[in-house]
Each structure stands twice: as structure tokens, then as C-alpha cells.
Structure 1
Amino acid sequence: MATRRSARLSAAASAESKSTIIAVEPAPPAPVPRGRKRKPTSDAPKLEAVSGVPEEETPAPATPKRRRAAKPKADAPPATPTPNNALLIGEPATTFETPKPKPAAVRRLADPTGTNAPLLSPETSRIVNRGAAISPSKAPLPGQVTTANILEEACRHLISVDARMKPLVESHHCRIFSPEGLSEKIDPFESLCSGIISQQVSGAAAKAIKRRFVGLFVDDAGNDNGNDDNDGHGSGHGRFPHPSQVAACTVEHLRTAGLSQRKAEYVRGLAEKFASGELSAQMLADAAYDVVLEKLLAVRGLGQWSVEMFACFGLKRMDVFSLGDLGVQRGMAAFVGRDVAKLKGKGGKWKYMSESEMREISERFAPYRSVFMWYMWRVEETDISTLE
């Protein structure tokens, strides 16, 4: 009996001991809200470390505002973009033909103040040359300017005006006025259309639109809809369409090539000018520069810069100068020794050099201002400081 009682008392004591241990076991720490970390002050961190509970009630975390991802910056346009944009204007008329061996450059009389490119008549494909051809066996007369030596003569003149032109001339070959460049046939209608197409779009986009534009006049069999000429310009490979073909199209049809409403209207209006004879390759070859400017500026879609680039790169006139071209202005400022990086942030159209100063400097290089302008696009690629 005593033994049983003793066992019961031992069991009770053991149970009481266990309950005591459980009662004094520390409770798990309360979860700490995950809010924005606050700067610790005085003894608050010590109290939090001991108790596991912040001294002040932390407000419920708010959803942080999402930051807009910064848009990747587009590559900055080149400082002198004009030559790239004008390349389409100066493309020879054989752009969409089957590749053929390049013919040897034909030596012709040249004129710094006139048209030096052989022009392809847009409707008849007749070649219009202002300068008479010279037999290869004939040596040029003393002082005679030809397509074979006009670039050399121009560069000699530029260096004689300003010695700083010498490293530019030695570093860069101006191909557009070389014997090879002056032998390339130019379709003036195609050249001017290319200028309109390339307005406010990249060079790659302009080429794609131009190719689709030519494709509008090529049938499913690859024939260019009767645009096949005796000189091989048709050849079923998409020669640029005749003005009469474009003038007969609706604006809506022209827009399917990717042209905007206005550009389609401009191209069609230009085609009407050529189809009616108001504009012609013969006129562009023979007329004085101020007449060419007047006639072309009257065409919707052709502004001063477009006409100047056409006269330079298309007609290969060697005494054209574009005062409104920012690349030329920047190049001229660097040419005379100004820090163009500091002038970049300056506002206004004439931030690198004034119009009157550009005119005054460029006039010294006449009658080869086109060549001088071309080299001004190359100034920042060449070290001319040694001659300053």
C-alpha cells in the first residue's frame, strides 16, 4: 500500500516537473515586419535585439513605385551625315540593272561651273553630255580642263588658297568628281525622286522604299512593263520607271511602296514635270546654275538643300555650296580652329559659324566650292593642326 502511494507521488512529481519546464520555455520571437530599414537611434537596436520586437510599430510596407526602365539611347547621328544621305541622290542610273563590267572612263571636256555628269534622258534613255568627248589618243591642250584632270585641278586650287587643305586632300579621295565618278550616267528623274524618298528616313529605309517603288512597275515575270530600251537599261531587271509611267499612277498606288501621302504626291508631281517637258535632261545639262535652282525649287517637295545636293551629287556641278548644311558649318568651324565640342550646346541655326562668315570663306575657293564642301565633311577625320 505504501509502495503504491509512493509510486503515485513520484509520478505526480514528475508530471509537475515537466509542466514547469514547458511553462518557462521561451516563446518564439514575433516576426519582424520587413519594411524599409530605419536609421538606428539611441538604444533602440539593443532593445530590439533583446525582445525581438521593434520599439515602435513599423508601418505596413507599401509597394514600391516601379521605376521606368531607361530607354536605350539611340546611337548619336554622325557629325557630318550629309554625304550618307546624299549617296542615294548620286547613285548611277544602273542601280537596278544586271551587273556589268564598268566601262573605261570616257575623257570629255569639263566645266567647273556647268553640269559634268552624263545625263540619261528619263523618257528616251538618250545620253546627254554637255562636254564633248576627247579621243584617248589625243593629248589635252595646255590649260584644257577635262573629266580626267578636273579633280586634280580643283585640289591644286584648294591647296593654293589655304595650305590646311593639303592633309585633307592627301587623306581622302573625292570619288564623285574623279574620272570614274564623272563617267557614271545619272537619270535626273531617278536622282530627284531618290532625294524625295530619302527625306526624314534612314538610308536603309530609303533604299528599301526605292526598291519597292521600282517593283511597282515590274510585272510578275520580271519585265519592267515596256521599259525596255535599246541601250540595255530595261533588260527586265527593274530600271527606274519613266516619268510618264509614274504620272499615270494614282497616289494611292504609289503609297503601297511605303511612301507617305505627301511624298507620293511630290513624286507624282515631279513625274508630271518631266513628262510634260517642263523639266528635261537637256535643260539640266545646259542651263546656268541659277536657272536650275529656280526651275527645281518650283517643284513641290524640293527645298533648297535637296536641290543643292542634287546639283552637287547628281549633276556633278563643281561650284555648289550649301550654306544651310549643319555638317558643312561644323566642319568649317573645325577647319578654322574652333572647339566644336564647346559650341555644340549653343542654340540657334548658326551655332558653329555665322552664315556671312561661311559665305566669305567659301567664296575664296570658287569655282570649286563643291569640292571644298565635300572636304569640309571630312575635316574632323583628319589632323590639320600641324599646319595651323
Structure 2
Amino acid sequence: MAPRRSTRIREQVPDLPKPASSLAQVSKSKGKKQSNPNGIVKKKAKSPTKSNINAQTTQEFAVPTTPKKKDPTEDGVSMSRDTIPRLTPPPRLDRPVDPHRTNATLMTPRGSSVVAYPSVEDASPSKTALPRPTATTGNLLEKALEHLIATDPRLKPVIEKHHCRIFSPEGLAERVDPFESLISSVISQQVSGAAAESIKNKFLDLFENTTAAGDGKKRRFPTPAEVMQHDLPTLRTAGLSQRKAEYIQGLAEKFAGGELSTEKLLKATDDEVMEMLIAVRGLGRWSVEMFSCFALKRTDVFSTGDLGVQRGCAAFVGRDINKLKANGKGKFKYMTENEMLELAEKFRPYRTLFMWYMWRVEDVNIAVLN
């Protein structure tokens, strides 16, 4: 009689030493325990799979230790952290960051990615004529939060409650298309988040031939040249107003003509970014400040014109927001602009993070901005 399949496989795979912790394992077969002649209880032999063989091989020379906690993988199968394959290398955590330069990884229309300072050498004062950055993508958030709490300990509870992912290592590793970000900003003006998402999807539908076809990947955003190929009536079919369609076409023309570019936005000063973008129809000071914060990830942006920031600042210093709302008039109903600037000044060069936590003080929904 031919040997059973499981027996044949065991003959092909050499017996591997097992951790000591496995000697006491018990398995059931038809409700009865099975023991080997030595009296050690074993599980009923199963056909080893490729993954089982690999797992056994990794344990062959391991010293028996306390079993580690297991993490779920994407396919729902649990395995130890040591056996989970690393599909992609981790992002670099030692890239220098500068408070007044772009700290995000920006995309070009050609699909390549660029950063302001790829290495420590590139951030040398002899090359940049600027002070050497003191933080990196790996420790920026930690250094910033230490500075905020040291400056005003009242921030500690709100910092402990909310994680600022934008300036975390994973947030700084994300790639940002500045052209897409600015177009999305225009689309989102004066509409709800749901409406903005619907319009953007319809806008992308105009460029169906440039999108990923049904493979679950993110749809590729059109280039400035591709947007320019559509006239205003066509752009309006996506749900855009006449004015927004004009703004979007104007942005595409400036990027295609070189007046705006990824490279220019990368190393420009905060004032230069404001000057370049404020000249574009459809982009006001507030829009540029939000772009500098959420897209360029600059650490020293502070928007006095944002009502949510103003409310948060007033509440942070102990003012009764409800009374101020009832009695206030004009743009700065909760706190004057000078008071806001004076309050934020001591948090340089991390005023962007201070602003982010002022939104959190009043639980302002900033999802549409991010």
C-alpha cells in the first residue's frame, strides 16, 4: 500500500528542532488525546505548507523564548512580527527640515518626487546660506511638541489627546502634488466636503483616459497641459461654477507656462510662496496659508484670518466663546488680530503646530482642509 501523502511529505522535509514551549501542546483527534511512545503529547501531523516550512526554518536556530504578540496581516492571517515580510523599505527619517522651507515631498508633472534637502550635506549653510536645520523628518514632531509645552504647559492636555499626523514621520513621508492640491483648494471653496469630493470626482472623469483603470489604485491627477486642453464649458460639466472653471484654467496656464512650478514652491521663502500664489486668481491669503500648512508642510504658518483658529485662541486664553459670539462684530469677533499674533509669536518656529492645536481646542473639523 502506498504511504499516505502526509507521510511522503514528512520524508521529504527533514525534522526541525521545535521550541521547548511546543512540547506541552495538546491536540485532539476524534475527541481523544494521542501520545508518542515517550509520553510527550503531540498534535496530529498536518501536511506542511510552504509558509509553515518557512516559519519552521526561521525557528531552527532560535533560542526558545516567550511567544510574541501576533499582528493581523492584510489577508486576515495572524503571524509573528518577525515573520511578516517587509514589502517596501521604510521612509528615511534623517532628512533635514527647515521651518521656512517646504518639508513635504513634492511631485512634479513628470511623476518624479523632490525634496528641499535630500541629505544633511545639502542642508549645509555653505550651500544654502541659511542656518543648518536642527530637526529631521524623524524627530520634527517630537521637537515641536517639546517646544510648545515648554513655552506654555497649558497645551499639554490637548497635545496628549490629539496626534498631529501632518508633521509625524509618516505624514512627512507622503508625496504631495502641488498642482492637485491647489486645484482641490479651488474646488473646495464655499462648498461642503461632500460636495467638493463629488465635484472633484466628476472633474477627474473628464480625463478618464489618464486614470488607473479599475485596479483599485488612486486615480492619476491630470497635468496642467491636459487641463488646458478642455475649454470652460467642458470644465463646468463637472459641477464647477463659471468663476471656478476660470480659476482652474488660470492655474493650469501658470504651471504649464513656468510661472509656477514644483521647484519654485520647494525652496521659496514663506513670503515668496505668498507672493507667487496670491497673484493667482481664486487664491486669497487664507487659501495660500492652508496650502502652506497642509500641502507644503511648513512649520511656521499662522492664519489670523481663520475663524476656527481665532475661536481656539480665545478659548485657550480663557474667554467665554458663547458671549463673544453673541456680542462680537466684524471679522475678529473673538480676538483681535494683534492679540492673536502676540499669542502665537512665542511659539516660533512651530506656529503651524500651535495653529493646528488651536483648531483642536474648539474641535474644528479641518478634514476638508487636509
CA offset at residue 133 of structure 1? 4.4
CA offset at residue 306 of structure 1? 0.4
Is 1:377 aligned with 2:359?
yes
Question: Residue 246 of structure 2 corresponds to which residue in structure 1?
Answer: 265
Distance 1:211 1:289 in 2: 31
Distance 1:365 1:274 in 2: 34
Q: Is the 8 A contact 2:312 2:358 kept in 1?
A: yes
Question: Residue 96 of structure 2 corresponds to which residue in structure 1?
Answer: 109
Question: Residue 348 of structure 2 corresponds to which residue in structure 1?
Answer: 366
Question: Residue 292 of structure 2 corresponds to which residue in structure 1?
Answer: 311
Q: Which moved more, 1:370-379 or 1:347-356?
A: 347-356
Tell me which amino acid in the other structure corresponds to 1:168.
V
CA offset at residue 128 of structure 1? 1.2
Aligned length: 265
CA offset at residue 380 of structure 1? 3.4
Is 1:286 aligned with 2:256?
no
SS at match of 1:377: helix
Q: Is the 8 A contact 2:97 2:117 kept in 1?
A: yes
Distance 1:256 1:145 in 2: 46
Q: Is the 8 A contact 1:158 1:372 kept in 2?
A: yes
Question: Residue 15 of structure 1 corresponds to which residue in structure 2?
Answer: none
Q: Is the 8 A contact 1:274 1:280 kept in 2?
A: yes
Is 1:169 aligned with 2:159?
yes
SS at match of 2:235: helix
Q: Is the 8 A contact 2:96 2:133 kept in 1?
A: no
SS at match of 1:361: helix
Question: Residue 145 of structure 2 corresponds to which residue in structure 1?
Answer: 155
Is 1:354 aligned with 2:336?
yes
Match of 1:206 among 196, 202, 205: 196
Is 1:323 aligned with 2:296?
no
Distance 1:236 1:249 in 2: 25
SS at match of 1:258: coil
Sort the Cα spacing of 1:127 and 1:199 in 2 relative to 1 into closer, same or farther, 3 A.
Answer: same
CA offset at residue 102 of structure 1? 7.7
SS at match of 1:132: coil
SS at match of 2:176: coil
Is 1:336 aligned with 2:326?
no
Match of 1:125 among 103, 106, 111: 111
Q: Is the 8 A contact 2:311 2:362 kept in 1?
A: no
Q: Is the 8 A contact 1:218 1:238 kept in 2?
A: no
Q: Is the 8 A contact 1:106 1:133 kept in 2?
A: no
SS at match of 2:153: coil
The CA RMSD over aligned residues, in Å, is 2.4
SS at match of 1:119: strand
Question: Residue 125 of structure 2 corresponds to which residue in structure 1?
Answer: none
Distance 1:257 1:143 in 2: 44
Question: Residue 235 of structure 2 corresponds to which residue in structure 1?
Answer: 254
Question: Residue 9 of structure 1 corresponds to which residue in structure 2?
Answer: none
SS at match of 2:341: helix
Distance 1:102 1:303 in 2: 39
TM-score (norm 1): 0.65
TM-score (norm 2): 0.68
After TM superposition, the structure 1 = structure 2 runs for residues 226-237 of structure 1, keeping only pairs within 5 Å, are: none
Distance 1:105 1:171 in 2: 26
Q: Which has the higher contact order (CA 8 A, sep 6+)?
A: 1
Distance 1:302 1:348 in 2: 22
For residues 203-246 of structure 1, what are the alpha-carbon distances to aligned partners after superposition, in whole Å with 9 as ceiling and x for unaligned? 01101111111110113xxx53xx99xxxxx9986300000111
Q: Which moved more, 1:152-161 or 1:104-113?
A: 104-113
Distance 1:130 1:265 in 2: 31
Question: Residue 124 of structure 2 corresponds to which residue in structure 1?
Answer: none
Tell me which amino acid in the other structure corresponds to 1:375.
Y
SS at match of 2:312: helix
Structure 1 residues not aligned, in runs of 5+: 1-100, 135-141, 229-233, 383-388
Larger radius of gyration: 1
Sort the Cα spacing of 1:348 and 1:190 in 2 relative to 1 into closer, same or farther, 3 A.
Answer: same
SS at match of 1:350: coil
Distance 2:217 2:163 in 1: 35
Question: Residue 7 of structure 1 corresponds to which residue in structure 2?
Answer: none
User: Among the aligned pairs, what percent are the same residue?
Assistant: 58
